[in-house]
Structure formats: structure tokens, C-alpha cells
């Protein structure tokens, strides 16, 4: 490829595209990477590129500088991340590499490599976000990068920047039908078509499989979506919306964990009653293996399983939005309790919770049945000024004893843990269940949104002839939390409306409507784009009248549709009469029109020179003007001598046909 000098306008266009493609990454990168990125690109644009001998005389110095910057950059990245592998590290190095490549760009090959790096940088943004605004933004960047490539190959400079952007966007829009055909008909497989590195979801917010004081109350500060739910029928009451997650059995006195391995459920030990609730749950990526389901799940979907304590799990961590078709019963009796489970459900650290144990001993002496002890403890919570709050005092000693007999201020994890300890101290098997409670109904899309601030913890106790029974002590301390939702129990827990709008009911209501409409749009995007898997594809094909289509039939149909679309496009281009958008062509057509009015109509088979010879043979006195106009047109059209365009325009405008006297 010829080593031509890259003009400043081409370098500026390319630099802008790469800068905008990397801009969303900047907040995620070490602060010095964006600084180097900007510095290197600005340095390349500042270099005296017009001096032809500059690169030859300074080549070794610039090459040494690039090597040193790369070495220092790699060392800095390793120091920052502690590794040279993974998503974050790879993208950081890519941003650094793109700026270094611009710095060394001199030839056409360098330009193309930088442009392709820019396209690749666009794709990497989807490693973090796959939202609609991200797609729109990346489409804009792709348009700019494509315009750069078109402009780079526009040797005659026929297009100004606005025309380049228009042509680029037109080309991309024209590709949309083919894109839609491939998206809809390409045979789908279970799971995403491409995965993320292991570090891609390390900072995801959500319920963990362990609980300690303050762990859940931190989640309540987040309004991020945990999952969305579409119900086949009516949405159950808020008090029945317990979304079961990790079940915690073991405690060291402060922290609760599951303890032993979670065995798969071998046989059902649950009796359901009443009507079932069918729903589709669209789970956000969690990088965890558990799925939240409405208590109590009837059966596990095909790619998941139930554990012995009725927790729904998958074999692999969930790293992409995933839809699950589920069926649950809000009325049930969970019966199974093995000897091993009994031991685990009564275990407590030997030297912990002394005051709680003494209190439980008093209750055992005073009351005869487990039901009476449970009610006594709940009454005691209600009668002793316990407070439900997101900001309880710090627990420095025995967390349970200090909470029950000193501070008496806490969030759901405090009450669930303390209640479970009192149950076990009273000889009643108990365990902690974590998950979410309630949800926000979106009337625009008619679905339920469960956010991180709906995180919750409750207890389950084993009662003879009743099995595992859910007991939520929070319902005693703050009944509105269970019946009406977290928003009414602790309004300050959620920044649901911007502070400036909180005191204006009209603006606040408008904000809520806009927010719900956007959330509905995001939900549909998640269902039909991000969650477009085999089930969703078959559902759409059924709507189109294509039922029971296997992957072989889909592949054949895909090629037929693509081939048909390309054929139709080709026929359209053949039939359509293109307008003379080329200025030289337009001026020459004007010249031909002047001759046609005098009887010299240009035939379809005639080239410019043949046409000129025919006119000259008949009208010798026009030879000079006709030859000059034809020569200028041929030079511009076929030898790319665009500098003669103004001369052609003037010659055509001043041309006047006059017949010779001999005729």
C-alpha cells in the first residue's frame, strides 16, 4: 500500500471517532489512561505533518517513545489490576493501544488499522451495558467511523462532512433489513452467543449467600433492578410476594451462611393448596448461581434445579439477562426435616448469645408449645419499642444480645437473625431465608419490578404437623413493610424521585410516568432483544405462522430470505434511474440538453467522444467548444482531475448553439 501522508482532516475525524468510542470507558479506567489517551492523540495532531522529512528524521525517536510508553503502560496496568488478563485489563490496554496506533499513523494501512480498532472499541462497550441508550450512542460512533472511511477514499473530495455523515448513516440504515432477518432467523442456542470474562460481573449488586448486620440494609440504598416479572393472571398481594433466595443455616455468632453443600432435591415433600401463579421472571445478571422465585415453587425449569431447602439454582453463574417460565403456590406446607437438617437447624456457637439463651430458657419454662413461644417473642418485639431503621447503632459486642437487650434498632436482617437465634435457643428448629419482598407495579407495561431496595430477610421454623412455616418478625415491628412495601415503611431508603421534584406533586407524578414508560421500554428490550433465545424465537415464529421449525429449516429459510433481499435490492438499483448527483455529470447533461434541442440527441450507446464526433461532423464551426467541453468532462470523470470542474461549468454555461451557414 502506498505510504502517503495522512492529512490533518482525516486524522481529526479518526481521532474523534476513537475518542468517542472510548469515552464511556473513561470512568471505569485508571485516571492516567484517559490522560495518556488524550495526550498521545493531541500530540499526533500537533506534529508538523507537512514537513515531508519529519518522519524520516525523527522515526527512531518516535519509535523509542512508543516502546517506552507501551512498557510503562503495561507495568502501570499490571500494578493497578494485579493481572494482565480479564475484561477490564483487556479494554484498558485496547484504549492505550488505539492512541499509540494513532500516534504512529502515516500510511493508508495505519489509517485502516486505526479505524478497525475504533470499531472493536465500539463493541467492547457492550461488555458493560447493553441498554438502548448505549446502542444509540454506539450507532452514532459507528456512523462517524464509517464516514471517516468514506472520506478517506473520497479522493476527489466530492463530499463535505455533512454529506459524509448522511451517506454513512444511509448505508447503515440500509443494512437494517438484513440485520433483522439474521437476528430473527439465525438459529439460537441456550445461553448467550458470546460470554464475558470471569471478572465481568465482579461488582454486581445483589443478594449474597451470606448475611451479617448491615448487609441487606446496604442493598436498600440501591434502586437497581434485580428482576422483572410478568404474571399470567392477577398480581398477588404485596404480603404474598416473598421471592425466595439463599437459605442460611449456619452462624458463627455474627455472620450467617449456608454451611454445607446444597444437595439437589430428590423427592418433593411439599403439599400445595389453592391456585397456582404462573409468571415469567426476567433476571438481571448476578454472577451467582441462584434464581429468585415466588414462594413456593412447584418445579424447576429445564436448566435449573431445586435444592433440599427449596432454593432454585443453576449449574453456571448467571452472566446475562435470562427469562424463566415459573409456577408457584403462595399456599403450601413444606414437610421435610431430616436428622441432619434438625441438627443444623438447632446449632448455635457454644459461647455466644448468653443473654438470648437465658431469655429463651425463661420462655420455655413459661410456655408449653412452640406456637406459644413464637407468639410470646413476637409480642415481646412489639411491646418493647423496637425500631425498624436503615441506620441502627453499631453493634460492637455480641451482635444478637446487644441488639435484643440494648440498641433495639435494626433492619430486617437484625430481626431475622435474632428471631432465629431465639428459636434455636428455645429448642425450635429455625433457619434464615434471604431474598426480596414485594415489588413495584408498573401500570404502563403491566408487570412487576423488583429492585435491590426490596431486599429482605425472614425466618422459617419447623413445627410439628405444619412443617416449615415462614415467620417474618419485620411484620410485627413494621407491618407496612410487608403490606405496603419498603417505600412506605422507610421513605428515605429509596431515591425514587429527584430531590428537586419531591415537593412538587405534579412534577413528581410526571417523573414517575416517564420512569415507568422507560422501564417498560427496557423490559421489552430485555425480552425481545437481549433475552431473544430459543424459546423467544419459537414464540415469535409461532406468531408468524411458522410452527415446529428446527434449526435446519431455519438455516434454509435464513439463506432464502437473505438471498431474496439481496436480489430485490439489485433489481431496485437496476430499475431505478439514478439522479446525476455528480457535478461533472450534471454539467455535461446540461450541455447534451442544449444540443438535443437542436436535433442532436445523444444515443444510449454513444460515449462522450463518439457523441462529440457526430456533432462536429455536422457542425464544424462548433468543433472548438464541443471538443473542449468533452475533453474537460472526460478528464474529470475518467482521470479524476477534479480541479477542472469550475472550467467545465463555465464552458457549459457559455456554450451557445448556432447553425453553420452551409446548413
pLDDT tens digits, one per residue of 540-574 = 888 877 777 777 888 888 888 888 888 887 787 67
Q: What percent of the chain has pLDDT over 70?
A: 89
Cell numbers describing residue 629: 467541453
Main-chain dihedrals φ then ψ at residue 253, nearest 5 degrees: 110, -20
Q: Are strands 225-231 and 447-451 parallel, antiparallel or unpaired?
A: antiparallel
Burial 484-512 (b: 16+ CB within 10 A, else e): ebbbebbeebbebbeeeeeeeeeeeeebe
Q: Which long-range contacts (CB under 8 A, 24 or more apart) does 149-152 make?
A: 149/112, 149/115, 151/9, 151/10, 151/13, 152/10, 152/108, 152/111, 152/115
**Per-residue pLDDT at 488:** 65
Give the residue from 438, 436, 442, 453 showing the smallest Cα distance to 494: 453
Mean pLDDT of all residues in 511-529: 77
Instruction: With H, G, I as helix, E, B as strand and everything else as coil, classify residue 538.
Output: helix
CA quadruple 506, 219, 326, 291: dihedral, nearest 10 = 160
**Per-residue pLDDT at 261:** 65
Q: Is there a contact between 488 and 482 (Cβ–Cβ < 8 Å)?
A: no
Work out the pLDDT band at 660, boundaries 50, 70, 90.
low
Cell numbers describing residue 428: 425450635
Who's near 140: CB < 8 A, 6+ residues apart?
20
Give the residue from 282, 292, 341 showing the smallest Cα distance to 314: 292
Q: Does residue 392 carry a pLDDT above 60?
A: yes
312 vs 309: CA distance, rounded Å: 9
Mean pLDDT of all residues in 349-353: 89
Helices 132-153 & 8-22 angle (0-180, nearest 10): 170
633 vs 589: CA distance, rounded Å: 10
Work out the pLDDT band at 492, boundaries 50, 70, 90.
low
Query: Which DSSP category does 264 fall into?
Result: B
393 alpha carbon, distance to own chain's centre: 38
On the 0-12 / 13-18 / 19+ scale of CB atoms within 10 A, 429 is buried
On the 0-12 / 13-18 / 19+ scale of CB atoms within 10 A, 632 is buried
Q: Which long-range contacts (CB under 8 A, 24 or more apart) does 618-621 make?
A: 618/663, 619/657, 619/659, 619/660, 619/663, 620/660, 621/658, 621/660
**Per-residue pLDDT at 260:** 73
Give per-residue pLDDT as tens, 217-253: 888 778 888 999 999 988 888 889 999 999 999 998 8
**Per-residue pLDDT at 55:** 54
Q: How is the chain split into domains, by residue range?
A: 8-174, 210-492, 583-654
**Per-residue pLDDT at 1:** 41
In the predicted model, what is the mean pLDDT of the chain? 83
Q: Is there a contact between 127 and 87 (Cβ–Cβ < 8 Å)?
A: yes
The DSSP secondary structure of 85-147, one letter per residue, reads -SHHHHHHHHHHHHHHHHHH--SHHHHHHHHHHHHHHHHHGGGT---HHHHHHHHHHHHHHHH
Cross-strand pairs, 447: 442
Q: Does residue 580 carry a pLDDT above 60?
A: no
Q: Which residue has the cell 446444597?
A: 262
Mean pLDDT of all residues in 645-656: 89
HSE (side-chain half, CA atoms, 13 Å) at 34 = 13
Work out the pLDDT band at 498, boundaries 50, 70, 90.
low
On the 0-12 / 13-18 / 19+ scale of CB atoms within 10 A, 355 is middle
Choose between 491 and 593: higher pLDDT.
Answer: 593
Cell numbers describing residue 59: 522515526
241 vs 436: CA distance, rounded Å: 8
Q: Does residue 54 carry a pLDDT above 90?
A: no
Q: Does residue 499 carry a pLDDT above 80?
A: no
586 vs 597: CA distance, rounded Å: 17
Give per-residue pLDDT as tens, 475-486: 898 888 777 677
435 vs 244: CA distance, rounded Å: 5
Work out the pLDDT band at 104, boundaries 50, 70, 90.
confident
Work out the pLDDT band at 84, boundaries 50, 70, 90.
confident
Q: Does residue 204 carry a pLDDT above 60?
A: no
311 vs 305: CA distance, rounded Å: 8
Helices 161-174 & 176-185 angle (0-180, nearest 10): 30
Cell numbers describing residue 259: 454451611
**Per-residue pLDDT at 183:** 84
354 vs 425: CA distance, rounded Å: 10
Instruction: With H, G, I as helix, E, B as strand and everything else as coil, classify residue 449.
Output: strand
Planar angle of CA 328, 256, 210, nearest 5 degrees: 65
Q: Does residue 417 carry a pLDDT above 90?
A: yes
Instruction: With H, G, I as helix, E, B as strand and everything else as coil, classify residue 336.
Output: coil
Work out the pLDDT band at 191, boundaries 50, 70, 90.
low
Q: Is there a contact between 462 and 374 (Cβ–Cβ < 8 Å)?
A: no
**Per-residue pLDDT at 141:** 92
Q: Is there a contact between 472 and 459 (Cβ–Cβ < 8 Å)?
A: yes
Mean pLDDT of all residues in 116-132: 86
Work out the pLDDT band at 431, boundaries 50, 70, 90.
very high
Which stretches of 575-634 are assigned E, i.e. beta strand? none
Give per-residue pLDDT as tens, 394-414: 888 889 999 999 989 988 899
Main-chain dihedrals φ then ψ at residue 442, nearest 5 degrees: -100, 105
Instruction: With H, G, I as helix, E, B as strand and everything else as coil, classify residue 447.
Output: strand
Q: Does residue 430 carry a pLDDT above 80?
A: yes
Biggest CA pair distance of the chain: 136
Choose between 129 and 621: higher pLDDT.
Answer: 621
62 vs 102: CA distance, rounded Å: 12
Query: Which DSSP category does 405 fall into?
Result: I
**Per-residue pLDDT at 635:** 87
**Per-residue pLDDT at 639:** 76
Active site residues: 412, 456, 472
Q: Is there a contact between 13 and 19 (Cβ–Cβ < 8 Å)?
A: no
Q: Does residue 502 carry a pLDDT above 70?
A: no
Who's near 232: CB < 8 A, 6+ residues apart?
277, 278, 279
Q: Is there a contact between 612 and 630 (Cβ–Cβ < 8 Å)?
A: yes
Q: What percent of the chain has pLDDT over 90?
A: 24
Q: Is there a contact between 308 and 263 (Cβ–Cβ < 8 Å)?
A: yes
pTM of this prediction?
0.68
Does residue 296 have a cis bond before it (omega within 30 degrees)?
yes
Q: Is there a contact between 525 and 536 (Cβ–Cβ < 8 Å)?
A: no
Amino acid at each position: 500500500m502506498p505510504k502517503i501522508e495522512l492529512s490533518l482532516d482525516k486524522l481529526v475525524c479518526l481521532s474523534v471517532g476513537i475518542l468517542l468510542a472510548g469515552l464511556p470507558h473513561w470512568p471505569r479506567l485508571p485516571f492516567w489512561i484517559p490522560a495518556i489517551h488524550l495526550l498521545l492523540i493531541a500530540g499526533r495532531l500537533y506534529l508538523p505533518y507537512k514537513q515531508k522529512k519529519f518522519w524520516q528524521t525523527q522515526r527512531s525517536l518516535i519509535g523509542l517513545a512508543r516502546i517506552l510508553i507501551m512498557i510503562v503502560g503495561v507495568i502501570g496496568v499490571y500494578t493497578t489490576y494485579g493481572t494482565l488478563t480479564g475484561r477490564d485489563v483487556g479494554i484498558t490496554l485496547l484504549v492505550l493501544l488505539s492512541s499509540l496506533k494513532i500516534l504512529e499513523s502515516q500510511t493508508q494501512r495505519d489509517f485502516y488499522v486505526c479505524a478497525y480498532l475504533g470499531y472493536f472499541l465500539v463493541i467492547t462497550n457492550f461488555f458493560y451495558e447493553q441498554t438502548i441508550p448505549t446502542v444509540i450512542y454506539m450507532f452514532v460512533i459507528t456512523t462517524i467511523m464509517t464516514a471517516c472511511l468514506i472520506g478517506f477514499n473520497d479522493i476527489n473530495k466530492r463530499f463535505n462532512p455533512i454529506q459524509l455523515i448522511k451517506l454513512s448513516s444511509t448505508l447503515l440504515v440500509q443494512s437494517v433489513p438484513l440485520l433483522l432477518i439474521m437476528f430473527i432467523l439465525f438459529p439460537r442456542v441456550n445461553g448467550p452467543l458470546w460470554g464475558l470474562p470471569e471478572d465481568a460481573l465482579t461488582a454486581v449488586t445483589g443478594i449474597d449467600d451470606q448475611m451479617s448486620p448491615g448487609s441487606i440494609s446496604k442493598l436498600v440504598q440501591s434502586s437497581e433492578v434485580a428482576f422483572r416479572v410478568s404474571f399470567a393472571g392477577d398480581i398477588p398481594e404485596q404480603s404474598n410476594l416473598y421471592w425466595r433466595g439463599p437459605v442460611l443455616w449456619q452462624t458463627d455468632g455474627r455472620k450467617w451462611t449456608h454451611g454445607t453443600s446444597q444437595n439437589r432435591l430428590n423427592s418433593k415433600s411439599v403439599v400445595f393448596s389453592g391456585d397456582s401463579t404462573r409468571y415469567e421472571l426476567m433476571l438481571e445478571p448476578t454472577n451467582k448461581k441462584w434464581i429468585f422465585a415466588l414462594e413456593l415453587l412447584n418445579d424447576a425449569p429445564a436448566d435449573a434445579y431445586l435444592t433440599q431447602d427449596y432454593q432454585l439454582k443453576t449449574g453456571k453463574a448467571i452472566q446475562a439477562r435470562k427469562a424463566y417460565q415459573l409456577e408457584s403456590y403462595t399456599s403450601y406446607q413444606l414437610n421435610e426435616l431430616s436428622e441432619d437438617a434438625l441438627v443444623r437447624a438447632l446449632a448455635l456457637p457454644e459461647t455466644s448469645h448468653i443473654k438470648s439463651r437465658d431469655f429463651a430458657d425463661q420462655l420455655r419454662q413459661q410456655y408449653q408449645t412452640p406456637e406459644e413461644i413464637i407468639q410470646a417473642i413476637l409480642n415481646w418485639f412489639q411491646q418493647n419499642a423496637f425500631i425498624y431503621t436503615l441506620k441502627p447503632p453499631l453493634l460492637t459486642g455480641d451482635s444478637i444480645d446487644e441488639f435484643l437487650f440494648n440498641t433495639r434498632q435494626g433492619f430486617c436482617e437484625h430481626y431475622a437473625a435474632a428471631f432465629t437465634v431465639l428459636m434455636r435457643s428455645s429448642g425450635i428448629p429455625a433457619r434464615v431465608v434471604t431474598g426480596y419482598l414485594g415489588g413495584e407495579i408498573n401500570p404502563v407495561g403491566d408487570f412487576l419490578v423488583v429492585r435491590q431496595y426490596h431486599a429482605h430477610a425472614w425466618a422459617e421454623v419447623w413445627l410439628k404437623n405444619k412443617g416449615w412455616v415462614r415467620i417474618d418478625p419485620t411484620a410485627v415491628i413494621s407491618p407496612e413493610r410487608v403490606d405496603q412495601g419498603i417505600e412506605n415503611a422507610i421513605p428515605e431508603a429509596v431515591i425514587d424521585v429527584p430531590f428537586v421534584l419531591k415537593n412538587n406533586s405534579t412534577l413528581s407524578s410526571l417523573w414517575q410516568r416517564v420512569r415507568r414508560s422507560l422501564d417498560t421500554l427496557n423490559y421489552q428490550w430485555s425480552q425481545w432483544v437481549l433475552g431473544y433465545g430459543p424459546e423467544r424465537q419459537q414464540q415469535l415464529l409461532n406468531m408468524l405462522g411458522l410452527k415446529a421449525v428446527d434449526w435446519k429449516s431455519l438455516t434454509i429459510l435464513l439463506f432464502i430470505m437473505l438471498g431474496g433481499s439481496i436480489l430485490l435490492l439489485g433489481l431496485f438499483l437496476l430499475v431505478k434511474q439514478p439522479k446525476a448527483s455528480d457535478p461533472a455529470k450534471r454539467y455535461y447533461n446540461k450541455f447534451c440538453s442544449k444540443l438535443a434541442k437542436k436535433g442532436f440527441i445523444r444515443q444510449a450507446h454513444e460515449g462522450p467522444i463518439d457523441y462529440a464526433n457526430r456533432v462536429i461532423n455536422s457542425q464544424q464551426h462548433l468543433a472548438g467548444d464541443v471538443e473542449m467541453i468533452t475533453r474537460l468532462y472526460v478528464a474529470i470523470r475518467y482521470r479524476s482531475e477534479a480541479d477542472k470542474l469550475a472550467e467545465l461549468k463555465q464552458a457549459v454555461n457559455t456554450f451557445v448553439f448556432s447553425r453553420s451557414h452551409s446548413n
